[in-house]
Structure 1
Amino acid sequence: MLLRQLEYLVALARERHFARAAEACHVSQPALSEGLRKLEDELKVLLVRRGRAYEGLTPEGERIVRRAQRLLADRDALREEATALRTGLSGTLRIGSVPTASGAVSLLTDPFCAAHPLASVQLRTDLRAEEVLRRVRDFEIDAGITYTPDSTEGVRTHPLYEERYVLLTGASEEPAAHPNVTRPNATRPNATWAEAAELPLCLLEPGMQGRRTLDEVFTGLGLAPRPRVETDSVASLFAHVRTGRWASVVPYAWLHVFGVPPGMRALPLVGPVHGAPIVLVLADRRPGPVMARALLEVARRTDAATVLERLP
């Protein structure tokens, strides 16, 4: 009963809404509210601020929910371990990824599924870098693929590859959308960041880590591109370049998914060559859930950097 009540608390903290938390727990809202009251009575501490609507957890509730998340994660890990001992690894591996790295996720999930035919994979590839870390720390996902975090509190990381960048343009040497701006010559093997900054750009949204990384490079070189189109989708960047009016800066790893589509060119960006480390992020638990351990073992056997280096 205590674990069930803790599930209610964790769901409420995640959903921040009584009705949605009840739906997530497959109970009625009155049943969820009653379970939370019984938990407060048992622990002899107020956990939830109540008003006409959910008003948040008390400071005590915030501390208890963190312990509850770990306790429930350990329970689930124990069940997965027991199942793996009986029948082999099964269940669902949950992975979250930043959009810029999502094109390389299959380098891990394909060998994982081949090695564990009873297991399945659930992917979220539209998460911000901060959200990937939060979900790993809160045990909402088993692993994340993201940029090297500034803080590794509560997580551990395994390097995957270095994200490099290409200027994606139309294949034509005709003038770009802006007057007096021409695209890099077709015989050139690369392009400079300064040339990229002068083109009519379509880039990721400013709040995304992939865009912040690009902005840091441009700013460090004294450049100030003014993209007219911003999106949260790497696929949308390719679609805009396909029209012939736009250029974009995209991660080299996305050529693993699309190649270089007809009518486009992908020129490595130099002056300087810039790279951003991409890592696998796991909760800092030892030995850790069996699913996460299995994925880490795949990552250790898979040289993602070498695979991506072979791209045209």
Structure 2
Amino acid sequence: MIEKLEMFIALAREQHFGRAAEACGVTQPSLSAAIKQLEDQLGVMLVWRGSRFQGLTPEGQRVLEWARQIVGDARTMREEMRTAKQGLSGNLRLAVIPTALTMVSDLTTQFSRRHPNVRFTVRSSTSAEILALLENLQVDAGISYLDNEPLGRVSTVPLYDERYCVVLRADDPLAAQGELRWSDLGDLPLCLLTPDMQNRRIINLHMAEAGVSAAPKVEASSVIVLISHVLAGGWATVLPLKAAEIFLAGGDLVALPLTAPDAHHAVGLIAPYREPHTPVLAALMQQAHTIAEKRPGTVA
């Protein structure tokens, strides 16, 4: 039953029998047969069928909720038994918003010192993607915004407050100013993250509140791309100070705080709303609490 539910989750996620079969490492006929067997066992039709996948039936949508819960609980049980026998081990999958990627090492390095048999896989994702990845059991936890857009049913550990700055070349005429206002951004040649990023939506909001609009000449899904343009000269970008700090050490760039308003948004660890968590995830959340308690400016 668990294996069939995992295939059903994959089908709902991929919305394509072939891609779902590939994701599960089985042939398409095997996956189709498993879904049909699941339907026979439950006595309901789960998938609208035609020449291709046409979506889940209302019963299928409800079964999907149960499937995620059951498969998640089964994985937690297996992890707990493995931990009882071997101690904390395995692979922890993290999805992280691009502007928080530079702080991931704070979490993973300290955790690894305590639990050397745990490996990490870190992927960069938008905040919306992180929620979908958690829901579909594709990652174990995420680092994302906590207070700007609805999160749904997740467990959270606040890590820090994200505050914003303009990043410029050190030889830019504006670099000598101590700070800039959000309204000043309307006159700058900006390169910003793409609109699907929550960071960009936050920037758009605060610029609109200041009476200017965001019209960047370069948009990218990578902070590295933005910084490379600023280094090339003639560009400016807006980043959280935490994300910018790693690029300031060489002295080629400066970061000017943005004021009016002095905006800030909470970033933290998010995990599926499930009790108990796997032992590894519970340990990660405890590590996040420890980091948050020691970090100045952490959200209470």
Partner of 1:98: 97
1:157/1:282 contact within 8 Å kept: yes
Determine helix, strand or coil for the equivalent of 2:219. Answer: strand
> For residues 270 and 304 of structure 1, do their structure 2 counterparts lie closer, same or farther at Cα, with a shift above 3 Å needed?
farther
Q: Quick one: which of 131, 134, 145 aligns to 2:132?
A: 134
Which moves more between the two structures, 192-201 or 49-58?
A: 192-201
TM-score, normalised with respect to structure 2: 0.93
CA distance in 2: counterparts of 1:236 and 1:200, whole angstroms = 15
1:162/1:305 contact within 8 Å kept: no
1:10/1:68 contact within 8 Å kept: yes
2:248/2:254 contact within 8 Å kept: no
User: How far off is 1:131 after superposition?
Assistant: 1.6
Determine helix, strand or coil for the equivalent of 1:165. Answer: strand
Unaligned runs of 5+ in 1: 174-182
Partner of 2:210: 221
User: How far off is 1:260 after superposition?
Assistant: 4.2
User: How far off is 1:304 after superposition?
Assistant: 7.7
CA distance in 1: counterparts of 2:117 and 2:108, whole angstroms = 13
**Could you tell me the percent identity over the aligned residues?**
38
Report matched runs for 1:221-260 at 5 Å.
221-260=210-249
CA distance in 1: counterparts of 2:55 and 2:245, whole angstroms = 43
Partner of 1:109: 108
User: How far off is 1:143 after superposition?
Assistant: 1.0
TM-score, normalised with respect to structure 1: 0.89
Determine helix, strand or coil for the equivalent of 2:26. Answer: coil
User: How far off is 1:258 after superposition?
Assistant: 2.5
1:144 aligns with 2:133: no
1:13 aligns with 2:12: yes
CA distance in 1: counterparts of 2:160 and 2:2, whole angstroms = 40
The CA deviation string for residues 102-128 of structure 1, in whole angstroms up to 9 with x for no partner, is 221111111112211111111111x12
Q: CA RMSD in A?
A: 1.9
- Structure 1 runs (4+) deviating above 6 angstroms are none
1:203/1:227 contact within 8 Å kept: yes
1:30 aligns with 2:26: no
> For residues 203 and 191 of structure 1, do their structure 2 counterparts lie closer, same or farther at Cα, with a shift above 3 Å needed?
same
Q: Number of residue pairs matched?
A: 297
1:288 aligns with 2:288: no
Unaligned runs of 5+ in 2: none
> For residues 203 and 151 of structure 1, do their structure 2 counterparts lie closer, same or farther at Cα, with a shift above 3 Å needed?
closer
